[in-house]
């Protein structure tokens, strides 16, 4: 299939199909194990503790890592055998990326555009629009080596949008952004999701909670659950409670229940916790995505 | 003391667990084998006039120790001169800066770990020379002290000095490694044994005093007026060489003191470095140096400029597919151009003018390899900079990364090497001499693919830096076997060999990189 035709295809509905993939490092160590997932247009939030396999999964979809088993297909095209299929409309923001310090932002984006195989007369105005969008137009001619961490992160966001991406992968994208930037970034992702598959991982549950259409929770290289936020939250319903404890009771309490958070008050410590057998005097609380996440990753297992 | 030992040990471990070290070690083993040639070999490494020693313990031990002192002074510096930079790059330095360790203690630990690395290579060379001595036929008595003592007295003090010199150079030239590399090259030419006799006090590598003693011995034994030392790989011309019995030299107190003096100078240099040490306050210094500029990223970060604006993907100007590599080559060239201080280009320009004006054989044999050597920093990370700058996430996920980016890097490097040699190419063109033109082209291609090859297989730039330095030094000393750009080798067979070699290592690099990407 010609590359030109691939890029010019308008995908109203895309489907990324991950079937039984594993990443095995040695006999006993797996990054991912028999993992299956289907992703369609919209935002999928990936949640999981460190070592859950989120970055491994994202690297595989971004074609920089190959599974030892299983298949990944985009709209029926096997991207393990033919990674260049997805690369043409992939936007990827890695967790721990670097830049060439002696290039300026404009030159760096031009370089990434060349690597992505995009150009034409509109490349320059597009780069300028993106730099305007990430608010780096004034600093565009300075070496990236002089940028702050947040500014570099914004260069990373701009590069992900260079090539009219249809699949966007953001691995911990809000690291280095201040609260206002995080809010704007969430808005940006919401806009992008209209015509794209967006996969977003974050340690900050509230980032996912605000924008994700669907949530997948992973642990130990395996998928624990996937569904809409309401479906996932439902798993923790009826198990979240709040009570007020004396400061000397807290340690004993923690040994029996999974404490989600505590707030020190005048009358004691307001404690939110999960349990099948609530403590006397507790009040049932409405479950949140964070509760569901903790329930699945810590309490249930 | 425990903490000091742990820093040295940790440093030592992380550096010996690298491909570059293993490959250097393998090269050192071969060097140890080659330092003392068998009697039927077609080369010599040390000649005293027309004499070489019989391969007894003393001759083998002394020659190996002296050759190691010279060999490691050439390549050792390049192997160890990024010890502090690693702490800067990894961010470990920021943690170290907040601890109570003093600058001197930290830098002394770095000097000692540098020394330990070179000592490891020396110890292995020493063991290899003993093994070669025992394996080679001959009825010479094995005396272990004849092996160990020369290493202890000749080689180790030199290595300690080089270890401290590397630390000093890293502190003084921490932003401009290219100056460090070239500066050492010039210093080394001054340090290496010359024909003129010198006092042991100025005999940094400890070799000249020994060869002078050997010369005296030969002159007395064979009643000669003169017996000049020839050190280095001399191929052929062995017909008129005779043997003499060498049983070692008396170590004079003055010589021993001079060796101790150089160790002391090593300590002093480390102390002096500690007075200049930035203690990882590197960014601040960079900013201070940039404060003359009217605009900086810091000044731009006004509160309103800090946040993202609204981006509507649908409203962005539409782009087209473009699979050419022109823009990649352009950016690679831009990065090569900006590598190192800008004023280094004045040296390049000077070198190109010298190529145009100097006698053609000098331009080809001496100036061209020096001019190319000035680009050591530009070429050394040509194929490894993606990983060291953590760009590989983008490059490996780009469209056809191997055939496009790899080719662009190769071509950009070759454009620089050919461009620099253009005045000489022009002179040969005017003189209608096609063979030297082809040789220079082949050399220009070889040195770039060699950089890429060593970068790809070792995963870093160090190995290329070490070997390129060795190559440049050999080229200036006109060693035919290492002449890769046809200054000494004129035949077409040589050209075919260079073409095949370049093609082979390009193919290996390509396959290696493909394998590397596939097993991420």
Over residues A6-23, the pLDDT tens digits come to 333 444 688 999 999 999
For the stretch A245-287, pLDDT in tens is 988 888 899 888 899 989 998 889 999 999 888 888 899 999 9
Residues of B in contact with A61 (CB under 8 A): none
Q: How many angstroms separate the CA atoms of B484 and B471, rounded?
A: 9
* ipTM attached to this prediction: 0.79
For the sheet with A222-228, list strands across it. A90-93, A167-171, A197-201, A42-47, A214-219, A222-228
Residue B96, phi then psi, degrees to nearest 5: -60, -40
H and E: helices and strands count for chain B: 26, 5
Q: Virtual CA dihedral for A117, A123, A124, A125, nearest 10 degrees? A: -150
Mean of pLDDT values over B4-13: 87
The residue out of B284, B309, B334 marking a domain boundary is B284
In this predicted model, what pLDDT tens digit does every residue of A88-113 receive, in sequence order? 889 999 888 889 988 999 999 999 99
Q: Render pLDDT for B114-154 as a digit per residue (tens, 0 to 9).
A: 999 999 999 999 999 999 899 888 888 999 999 999 999 99
Start-end of H helices in A117-249: 123-133, 149-160, 179-192, 205-211, 229-234
Let me know whether B387 and B470 are in one domain. Answer: yes
Instruction: Flag whether pLDDT at B9 surpasses 60.
Output: yes
- Residue B169 sits at φ, ψ, to 5 deg, of -65, -35
Total count of residues recorded for chain A: 301
Q: What residues have CB less than 8 Å from B169, skipping those under 6 apart? A: B77, B81, B180, B183, B184
User: Do B31 and B120 reside in the same domain of the chain?
Assistant: yes
- Cα dihedral B474→B475→B478→B480 (10° resolution): 90
Q: Do B158 and B97 share a domain, yes or no? A: yes
pLDDT at B490: 84
Could you tell me the two tokens for A31?
């990054």
pLDDT of residue B20: 73
Give B322-372 pLDDT, tens digit per residue: 888 999 999 999 999 998 888 889 999 999 999 999 999 999 999 999 999
Write the DSSP assignment of B209-234 as a string of letters.
HHHHHHHHHHHHHHT-S---EEEEEE
Query: If pLDDT is split at 50, 70 and 90, which confidence band does B310 have?
Result: confident
Q: For B169-206, what is each residue's pLDDT tens digit? A: 999 988 778 788 888 988 888 877 666 667 777 888 89
Look up residue A238 and give its two tokens. Answer: 């009826």
Q: C-alpha angle B122/B128/B133, rounded to 5°?
A: 130
- Boundary (domain end) residue, out of B228, B260, B284: B284
Contacting residues of B for A92, CB less than 8 Å apart: 393-394, 397
pLDDT value, residue A235: 93
Answer yes or no: do A138 and B334 touch at CB < 8 A: no
- Contact status of B295 with chain A (Cβ, < 8 Å): yes
Tell me: pLDDT of B510 over 60: yes
CA torsion sign, B136 to B141 to B146 to B148? positive
Domain membership of residue B321 (yes or no) is: no
What residue ranges define each of the domains in chain A, with the CATH number in brackets? 3-231 (3.40.50.300), 235-299 (no CATH)
B58 close to B248: Cβ distance less than 8 angstroms: yes
The count of other CB atoms within 10 Å of the CB of residue B343 is 10
Give residue B484's pLDDT: 95
Name chain A contacts of B334, Cβ cutoff 8 Å: 103, 107
CB A23 within 8 A of CB A31: yes
Asked if A220 and A53 touch (Cβ cutoff 8 Å), the reply is yes
Name which of A65-74, A290-299, B303-312, B336-345 the model is least confident about. Answer: B303-312
Query: What does the pLDDT read at residue B519?
Result: 66
The structural domain count of chain B equals 2
Q: Are B259 and B381 in a shared domain?
A: no
What pLDDT digit, counting tens, does each position of B209-266 carry?
999 999 999 999 999 998 888 887 777 767 788 999 999 999 999 999 999 999 999 9
Q: Is residue A138 exposed (0-12), middle (13-18) or buried (19+ Cβ within 10 Å)?
A: middle
Under the banding of pLDDT at 50, 70 and 90, the label for residue B283 is low
Question: Is the pLDDT at B308 greater than 60, yes or no?
Answer: yes
CA B359/CA B354 separation, integer angstroms: 9
Task: Compute CA distances A61 → A1, A90, B327, B398, whole Å.
Answer: 21, 9, 27, 13
Say whether B297 and A97 touch across the interface (CB within 8 A).
no
Longest C-alpha distance within chain B, in Å?
93
What is the mean pLDDT of the segment spanning B379-408? 88
- Which tokens belong to B67? 């050759």
Query: B-contacting residues of A 191-220, CB under 8 Å?
Result: 191-192, 195-196
Q: How far is A216 from chain B (nearest CA, A)?
A: 24
| List of chain A residues whose C-beta atoms are within 8 Å of the C-beta of residue B391 | 97-100
- Distance (Å, rounded) from C-alpha B138 to C-alpha B54? 10
Contact (CB, 8 A) for B410 and B336: no
pLDDT reported for residue B307? 64
Write out the two tokens for B280: 């990882």
CB of A6 within 8 A of CB of A86? no
H or E element in which residue A247 lies: none
DSSP 8-state class, residue A248: T
Q: Is the pLDDT of residue B411 over 50?
A: yes
Query: Which of the residues A6, A24, A64, A161 would you substitute to probe the B interface, choosing the one with the greatest number of B C-beta atoms within 10 Å?
Result: A64
- Residue closest to B244 by CA, chosen among B384, B54, B493, B494: B54
Whether B399 is covered by a domain: the verdict is: yes
Kindly state whether residues B334 and B454 are assigned to the same domain.
yes
End-to-end CA distance of chain A: 47
| Helix segments in B137-252, DSSP class H | 145-150, 156-172, 177-191, 208-222
Q: Both B496 and B419 in a single domain? A: yes
Same domain, B25 and B124: yes
Query: B301 lies in a domain?
Result: no
Residue at B142 is within a domain: yes
How is B77-136 classified by DSSP, letter by letter?
Answer: HHHHTTHHHHHHHHSHHHHHHTSS--HHHHHHHHHHHHHHHHHHHHHHHHHHHHHHHHHS
* Alpha-helical regions (H) of B342-381: 344-357, 360-362, 368-373, 376-380
Nearest to A122 among B317, B391, B401 (CB): B317
pLDDT of A168 reads: 94
A167 with A14: CB under 8 angstroms?
yes
Q: How far apart are CA A192 and CA B354, in angstroms?
A: 58
Dihedral over alpha carbons B366, B368, B372, B373 (to 10 degrees): 10
Inter-chain touch B393–A178, beta carbons under 8 Å:
no
Nearest by CB to residue A114, choosing from B296, B314, B331, is: B331
pLDDT of residue B274: 95
Task: Output b/e per residue, A63-102; b: 16+ Cβ within 10 A.
Answer: bbbbbeebebbbeeeebeeebebbbbbbbbbbeebbbbeb
Nearest CA in chain A to B318: A122
Which pLDDT belongs to residue B306?
A: 55
Q: Which residues of A touch B91 (CB under 8 A)?
A: none
Name the more confident of A161 and A28: A161
Kindly list the residues from chain B whose CB atom is less than 8 angstroms away from the CB atom of residue A177: 308
**Which one of A115, A126, A147, A199 makes the best mutation probe of the B interface by having the most chain B beta carbons within 10 Å?**
A115
The rounded distance, in Å, linking the Cα atoms of A227 and A214 is 5
- CB contacts, 8 Å: B320 with chain A: 118-120, 122
Structural domain for B135, as ranges: 2-284
User: How would DSSP label each residue in A78-135?
Assistant: ETTT-HHHHHTTEEEE-TT----TTSBHHHHHHHHHHHHTEESTTHHHHHHHHHHHTT
Measured between alpha carbons, how far is B52 from B65 in angstroms, rounded to an integer? Answer: 16
CB burial class (10 A; 0-12, 13-18, 19+) of residue A10?
A: exposed
Residue with tokens 């030109």: A4
Averaged confidence pLDDT in chain B:
87
| Mean pLDDT, residues A233-249 taken together | 92
Question: Count of A–B CB contacts within 8 Å?
Answer: 191
Whether the per-residue pLDDT at A4 is higher than 50: the answer is: no
8 A C-beta contact, residue B237 and residue B47: no
- Interface probe for A, chosen from B319, B402, B404 (most Cβ of A below 10 Å), is B319
Q: Is B296 on the interface with A (CB under 8 A)?
A: yes
Distance between CA atoms of residues B417 and B411, nearest Å: 10
Contact (Cβ atoms closer than 8 angstroms) between residue B259 and residue B204 = no
Note whether B203 and B260 are same-domain residues. yes
Rg from Cα positions in chain A: 22
| Residue B418 and residue B502 in one domain | yes
Q: Distance between CA A139 and CA A107 in Å, rounded?
A: 12
Q: Is the pLDDT of residue B426 over 50?
A: yes
Is the confidence at residue B46, as pLDDT, over 50?
Answer: yes
Contacts of B21 (CB under 8 A, 6+ apart): B15, B79, B117
Helix axes B434-458, B19-35, angle to 10 degrees: 120
**Torsion A156-A159-A164-A168 (CA) sign:** negative
Note whether B3 and B101 are within 8 A (CB): yes
Burial of A179 (0-12, 13-18, 19+ CB in 10 A): exposed
A132-166 pLDDT tens trace: 988 899 999 999 989 988 889 899 999 999 988 99
Question: At B509, is the pLDDT very low, low, confident or very high (cuts 50, 70, 90)?
Answer: very high
Does a structural domain hold residue B65? yes
Check residue A5 and give its pLDDT: 35
Residues of chain A positioned with their CB less than 8 A from the CB of B298: 146
Residue B468 lies in a domain: yes
Please tell me if residue A103 touches chain B, with a CB cutoff of 8 Å: yes
Best B176, B293, B307, B333 member to test A by mutation, with max A CBs in 10 Å, is B307
Quick one: pLDDT at residue B6? 84
Comparing alpha-carbon positions, the chain B residue that sits nearest to A95 is B393
Residue B218 domain-assigned (yes or no): yes
Chain mean pLDDT for chain A: 88
Coil vs helix vs strand at B19? helix
Residues B332 and B464 in one domain: yes
Decide if B491 contacts B439 (C-beta within 8 A). Answer: no
In a domain, B295, yes or no: no
Distant-in-sequence, close-in-space partners of B315: CB < 8 Å, separation ≥ 6: A129
Both B203 and B64 in a single domain? yes
Is there a single domain that holds both residue B418 and residue B357? yes
């Amino acid at each position: 299939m010609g590359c030109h035709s691939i890029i010019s295809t308008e995908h109203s509905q895309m489907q990324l199909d991950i079937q039984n993939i594993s990443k095995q490092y040695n006999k006993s160590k797996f990054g991912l194990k028999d993992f299956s997932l289907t992703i369609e247009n919209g935002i999928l939030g990936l949640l999981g503790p460190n070592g859950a396999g989120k970055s491994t999964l994202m690297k595989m979809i971004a074609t920089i890592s190959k599974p030892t088993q299983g298949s990944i297909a985009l709209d029926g095209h096997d991207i393990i055998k033919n990674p260049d299929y997805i690369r043409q409309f992939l936007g990827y923001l890695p967790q721990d990326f670097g830049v060439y310090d002696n290039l300026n932002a404009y030159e760096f984006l031009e370089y990434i555009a060349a690597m992505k195989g995009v150009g034409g007369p509109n490349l320059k105005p597009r780069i300028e629009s993106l730099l305007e969008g990430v608010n780096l137009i004034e600093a565009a001619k300075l070496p990236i080596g002089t940028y702050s961490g947040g500014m570099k992160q914004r260069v990373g966001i701009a590069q992900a949008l260079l090539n009219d991406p249809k699949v966007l992968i953001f691995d911990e994208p809000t690291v280095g952004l201040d609260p206002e930037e995080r809010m704007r970034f969430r808005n940006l992702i919401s806009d992008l999701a209209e015509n794209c598959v967006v996969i977003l991982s974050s340690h900050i549950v509230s980032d996912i909670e605000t924008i994700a259409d669907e949530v997948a929770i992973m642990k130990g290289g395996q998928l624990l659950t996937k569904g809409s936020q309401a479906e996932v939250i439902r798993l923790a319903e009826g198990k979240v409670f709040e009570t007020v404890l004396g400061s000397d009771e807290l340690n004993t309490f923690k040994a029996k229940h999974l404490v989600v958070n505590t707030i020190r008050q005048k009358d004691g410590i307001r404690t939110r916790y999960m349990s099948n057998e609530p403590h006397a005097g507790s009040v049932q609380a409405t479950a949140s995505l964070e509760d569901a996440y903790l329930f699945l990753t810590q309490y249930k297992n | 003391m425990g903490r000091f030992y742990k820093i040295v040990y940790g440093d030592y471990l992380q550096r010996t667990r690298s491909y570059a070290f293993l490959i250097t070690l393998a090269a050192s083993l071969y060097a140890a084998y080659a330092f003392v040639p068998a009697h039927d070999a077609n080369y010599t490494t040390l000649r005293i006039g027309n004499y070489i020693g019989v391969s007894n313990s003393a001759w083998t031990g002394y020659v190996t120790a002296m050759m190691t002192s010279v060999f490691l002074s050439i390549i050792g510096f390049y192997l160890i001169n990024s010890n502090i930079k690693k702490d800067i790059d990894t961010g470990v330095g920021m943690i170290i800066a907040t601890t109570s360790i003093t600058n001197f203690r930290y830098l002394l630990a770095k000097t000692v770990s540098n020394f330990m690395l070179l000592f490891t290579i020396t110890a292995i060379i020493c063991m290899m020379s003993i093994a070669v001595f025992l394996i080679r036929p001959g009825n010479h008595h094995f005396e272990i002290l004849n092996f160990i003592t020369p290493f202890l007295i000749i080689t180790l003090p030199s290595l300690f000095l080089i270890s401290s010199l590397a630390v000093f150079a890293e502190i003084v030239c921490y932003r401009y490694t290219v100056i460090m590399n070239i500066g050492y090259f010039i210093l080394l030419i001054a340090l290496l044994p010359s024909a003129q006799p010198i006092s042991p006090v100025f005999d940094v590598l400890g070799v000249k005093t020994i060869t002078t003693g050997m010369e005296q011995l030969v002159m007395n034994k064979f009643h000669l007026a003169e017996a000049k030392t020839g050190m280095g790989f001399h191929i052929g011309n062995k017909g008129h060489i005779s043997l003499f019995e060498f049983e070692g030299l008396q170590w004079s107190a003055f010589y021993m003191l001079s060796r101790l003096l150089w160790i002391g100078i090593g300590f002093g240099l480390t102390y002096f470095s500690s007075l200049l040490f930035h203690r990882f306050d590197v960014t601040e210094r960079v900013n201070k140096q940039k404060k003359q500029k009217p605009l900086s990223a810091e000044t731009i970060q006004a509160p309103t400029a800090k946040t993202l604006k609204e981006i509507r993907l649908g409203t962005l100007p539409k782009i087209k597919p473009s699979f050419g590599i022109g823009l990649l080559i352009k950016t690679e060239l831009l990065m090569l151009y900006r590598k190192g201080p800008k004023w280094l280009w004045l040296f390049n320009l000077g070198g190109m003018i010298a190529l145009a004006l100097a006698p053609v054989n000098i331009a080809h044999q001496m100036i061209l390899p020096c001019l190319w050597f000035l680009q050591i920093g530009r070429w050394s990370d040509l194929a490894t900079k993606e990983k060291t700058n953590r760009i590989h996430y983008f490059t490996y996920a780009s469209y056809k990364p191997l055939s496009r980016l790899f080719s662009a890097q190769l071509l950009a490097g070759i454009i620089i090497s050919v461009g620099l040699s253009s005045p000489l190419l022009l002179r040969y063109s005017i003189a209608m001499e096609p063979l030297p033109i082809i040789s220079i082209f082949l050399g220009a291609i070889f040195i770039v693919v060699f950089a890429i090859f060593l970068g790809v297989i070792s995963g870093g730039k160090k190995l290329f830096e070490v070997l390129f330095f060795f190559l440049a030094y050999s080229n200036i000393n006109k060693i035919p076997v290492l002449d890769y750009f046809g200054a000494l080798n004129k035949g077409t067979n040589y050209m075919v060999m260079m073409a095949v070699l370049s093609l082979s290592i390009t193919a290996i690099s390509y396959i290696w990189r493909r394998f590397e990407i596939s097993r991420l």
